[in-house]
Structure 1
Amino acid sequence: MRVGLFWRVFAVNAGFLALLAVLLLVTPVTISAPIALTEAAIVLVALALTLVANAILLRRTFRPLDRLVRRMASVDLVQPGQRLEVEHDDEVGRVVDAFNGMLARLEAERRESGRRVLAAQEAERVGIARDLHDEVGQALTGVLLQLGSIAVSTAQAEDELEQARDSVRSALDEVRRISRELRPEMLADLGLVSALTELTRTFGRAARVRVDTRLDHVLPRLAPETELALYRIAQESLTNVARHARASRVGVDLASDAASVVLVVRDNGAGFDGDRMGHGGLRGMRERAVLVGGALELREPDGGGVEVRVEVPARRNGDR
């Protein structure tokens, strides 16, 4: 049974006080008034030994509290697993263990609330995409047909009508593009590899950036929310490249083994220009990775640019 902190401190102090009492009782050591030099030396040495013993004991005992304070000041729930080792089964150890338990509960609650928020966002995206496709898209298609019929009967305004039709076609293409970005139907129908292939092809054409892809076509089983997280992270990474990087080349790699899948998006652009976590929705990308049990890493390679690397676990047999 481990002795508590109070009793350990008490035992050290009581032991030295008892030692002083024994010295006074069974030895010729005395304290006179006025005190002699040797007597003063004995008292000071005993006091110094008591202070040193207390300092050693308390330093070893309270060192975990120092680590606890530093961890509490720096903990980030976006990076789970930041636990402290419980070194002793005493009052301080129980405080550290309670802190670890609190972190575990906070991380679990944050994951659950994050999943609900992302599910609501995806449902809202699907609804907006459906409205764009069904309402706005059909309306623009109707206008395009009407312009075509007017052009047949009004030859004098043929040039103006052709320009109007081109504008409507452009608007219709834009609506379809937004709808695809909001609701990646290809992801649900054909899988992650096909969806990433189409995403990179569309991005390269729109941003006029060369995109090199290396996608592993044989992937382990992934949960639907994990595939969606990887797709959204790739989508956000490419959007950041188009908006901020001023890059001429982008690489998108998707590799896997039996236990995990790794997505890497790298560019040769300008790199970071400030707080990484506040740059281009990077914190949201990290949160998506954490919510599916993965980890996201950001770095600036030696050759310049930014590399986003996310690793997520594969679905185990028996997982739903």
Structure 2
Amino acid sequence: MKLRQKILLLAVAPLALAMFGIALTVRYQATELARHERVLVEAAYLQSKETELRHYVELAQSAIAPMVRSGRADAATRDAAMQALARLDYGQDGYFFLYDLQGRNLMHPRQPELVGQDLWSLRDPQGALTIQRLIAAARAGGGSVRYMWKKPSSQQVAPKLGYVVAVPEWNWMLGTGIYLDDVERTLRRLDARAETDIRETMAWIGVIAAISILLVAASGLALNVSEHREADAKLRQLAQRVVQSQEEERARLSRELHDGISQLLVSVKLLLETAANRLRLAPPPEGASVAPVLGMALIRLDTVFNEVRRVARNLRPALLDDLGLFAALEHLAREMQEGSGLRITVSRTGTPRELADEQATALFRIAQEALTNVERHAHANQVTLVLAFDADATRLTVQDDGAGFDVARMQHDPRRGIGLRNLRERVAALGGEFDIVSEPGATRLSAAVPAVRAGAALPDPATTIAAQPAPRRDASGNTES
């Protein structure tokens, strides 16, 4: 595949995926919005109807209140109250009904065949005990109940919202209701309209996506690929530099192991062999002559141990694992000061917390690279390192008073600034931020990694060192590493 085709694919594919993701998100959000709108409309309608039904029931109660409060409970008085309620209707399917609290129907103006029947065990098509639920709501002080009932105007079972109250003086349940099939039709129309709007929105998104992809494709075909070739050259050079650095590091370790540790080990071996030969050949009184040789072997062995520690410390400082990043930075500053004329100040702000191993290593390597660059190129006298534990990030700042350099030119020059680009990419891989500002007399490098979790405050390094037990020593008197 040619470079232009790759660029075109890399430009079009993310755009297409983004537009597809936007379309899915818009459809989901629109569907959720329509669902919420339906729920709100239904709830508002039912609440208004419940209030209306309560007012109707209160009106019916006021119509029979004089007869109820009269204290008479004879059949004539009750029949008069029933007739008054039967005459109260509203609309085509609005009426009042009466039951006693044991479930027997006393009055039903639209279904007179139910009068006198015991409907306590009546169930609707969904299996719910309709009359028992109504009586329970009435006994609880009055309330609304949704159930299924035959609609007089259509003779079809339809959802209904009923509101009932108790008339305890006569052991009655008085109620009325409104059928909700019209509400269901209205809600279905809302759903259909919402679905139509969603389809139209998806069509518009598709048109916009197609136009955008065509524009990107046309732009990609006309794009000059020189910048991409330059980027490819930088990447190749970076890869070569990484490989070269690895090879140089391997060569350095190989030389140190060969020229330092290996020679010392051979010398110790020869000395020990000489001591063994003397012990084997010399008479017992003369065995004392072996002691100086063995002493020299032990001295050489101490040198071997120190050399091993030095190599290990250069690979990764033990302080970074034992006492944390701040102690390792202090040790690094002391070593750098001893080998150069720099004055290095290390300070810390905020409440210390534990860092992930990758974060601590990255910040330490950044400080190491920065101090090395200052020593080699900045011609500075004073360097300040600040480790700040902010609420949302851990920030390392390195500032010197050196000659400075052109940051933009360094970043765009493929032959220079490899180390800074490596640092930037290393911080970016951890989700952090890297920034460098330079001018004559002041260069400031800042690296921040996010606070992955809230840890307990770390003890002060000086206190930790004082509280540690004395180091153990091996049989030769050397400190165990």
Q: Which TM-score applies when normalising by structure 1?
A: 0.49
Q: Which has the higher contact order (CA 8 A, sep 6+)?
A: 1
Q: Which TM-score applies when normalising by structure 2?
A: 0.34
The structure with more radius of gyration: 2
Name the one with the larger strand percent: 2
